Chain A
């Protein structure tokens, strides 16, 4: 996928310590501007959280970074970048497919190792039907899929949206462990400011255009948060 992204870039050098540089990115869908003049970069080995209200263009940005959406501007990945992607949802409710078969689609996957690295017991889950897994189990299977071929970058779309409260910490712990173990750069879309402040290094707040780009810890400032989500937003609303 990075190959496709490479074809769309105009800038090929001087990424320096960065894994990704996005410059003046504009996306129009059906004549409507969904993202306008978005610029940011992501340092290698760090975590960038992409925040914003519903309809802010967060998922469109991830899809654009994957090369799925036509755009203007530049998306420059470091040469040879391998991207792993963790989607928000899978359409598997009525698909007769087991965890073993799903992970097996990705060639060369070491099923045992991938599942063990996300804290799942291969023996008990490999022959389960994918559609019967809980939200947390599914999310970890998806992470196992994404890290199976040792990507340099992981893109996460709302990693906690289908996970119950108790399972969120487990997912974040898993992510932390993987990030440290493999030195992976992580881009995650989230609506949960609380987790973002704690977990990510940098935040990109979107509302069609960039509202804030900088250290995540600054988001604990209520004035900044109000700018990102509109007035009246309190941090405690998102806290667990």
Chain B
């Protein structure tokens, strides 16, 4: 492996796992009509990234800490006020974005907003692989409970689903996925990593099994394709990952029109 191939290999490894995990997680978020929550939450990470840069610790940890705090506060406010989840998250989003832009040093702002997957070290890649694997396993475990709670909370309760806990774990996993995805495409575009694969998969799926699997696959493929295209052209990878995802979505719209959703 030559000197340039190695970072690309790490980037591809981190990208494919982060893409798989965000795609799979996104399938739950799109099904729950919370597609934009990932997008909004991603901005909450910005002040954490800024603190990491300013105080010289791993920005991922800062992002994750802020996301966790936001998720905890969201969960608590939603349960205690019964405000819609998106309204609560919306309040945090604008506050965090304002704070993040003020705190982030100007030279680093672009990287924080659009990601730096091209500069992934082996440790970052290993962390991304480990965390993404745990996310996929976690999402798989809560999938039936989240789907059922969305279909009917009463039905979920009568089936002994612990709706409060399932929602908390779900939001926790959203935070983890967003923090991991930020490395790939940055805070501005991480929402796309969650929304696009699931939206495309939903167009061509008539069953949950196919929907979840295709969402994960589309997420992994768009991340890898974007990173490889970036490596070949020198264009930043974040926007390319999103463009590949958008292309998949458009293809799914055409496929749906021609064939309809498949089992």
Contact = CB atoms under 8 A, between A and B. Distances in A.
Interface of A: 1, 4, 62-63, 66-68, 83-85, 87, 89-92, 94-98, 101-102, 105-106, 127, 129, 145-146, 155, 157
B154 interface: yes
A95 B158 contact: no
9 contacts: A66-B154, A66-B157, A87-B155, A90-B151, A91-B152, A95-B151, A97-B207, A101-B209, A127-B207
Contacts of B263: 98, 127
B210 A96 contact: yes
Interface in B150-203: 150-155, 157-160, 202
B198 to A, nearest CB: 10
A1 B202 CA distance: 33
Contacts of B207: 96-98, 101, 127, 129
Contact of B152 (A90, A94, A97, A98): A90
A44 B113 CA distance: 63
Given A96-B210, A98-B207, 11 more contacts: A62-B154, A66-B158, A68-B153, A85-B157, A91-B151, A95-B150, A96-B207, A96-B208, A101-B209, A102-B151, A129-B206
Given A90-B152, A127-B263, A129-B206, A97 B158 contact: no
Interface string B10-22: 0000000000000
A105 B158 contact: no
A158 to B, nearest CB: 13
B148 interface: yes
B154 A83 contact: no
A140 B209 CA distance: 23
A101 B208 contact: yes
A106 B155 CA distance: 10
Interface in B13-40: 31
B207 to A, nearest CB: 5
A87 B144 contact: no
Nearest to B214: A96
A78 to B, nearest CB: 16
Contacts of B153: 68
A96 B158 CA distance: 22
B154 A91 contact: no
Interface string B205-240: 111111100000000000000000000000000000
Contacts of A94: 202
A87 B205 CA distance: 26
A168 to B, nearest CB: 22
Contacts of A106: 159
Nearest to A148: B159
The 7 closest A-B pairs by CB, nearest first: A85-B158, A87-B152, A105-B144, A96-B205, A96-B211, A98-B207, A97-B208
A83 B152 CA distance: 15
A68 B154 contact: yes
B7 interface: no
Nearest to B202: A96
Contact of B150 (A1, A4, A67, A91): A91
B157 A105 contact: no
A139 to B, nearest CB: 13
A190 B148 CA distance: 24
A146 B151 CA distance: 15
B99 interface: no
Nearest to A84: B158
Contacts of A127: 207, 263
Contacts of A102: 151
B157 A95 contact: no
B52 interface: no
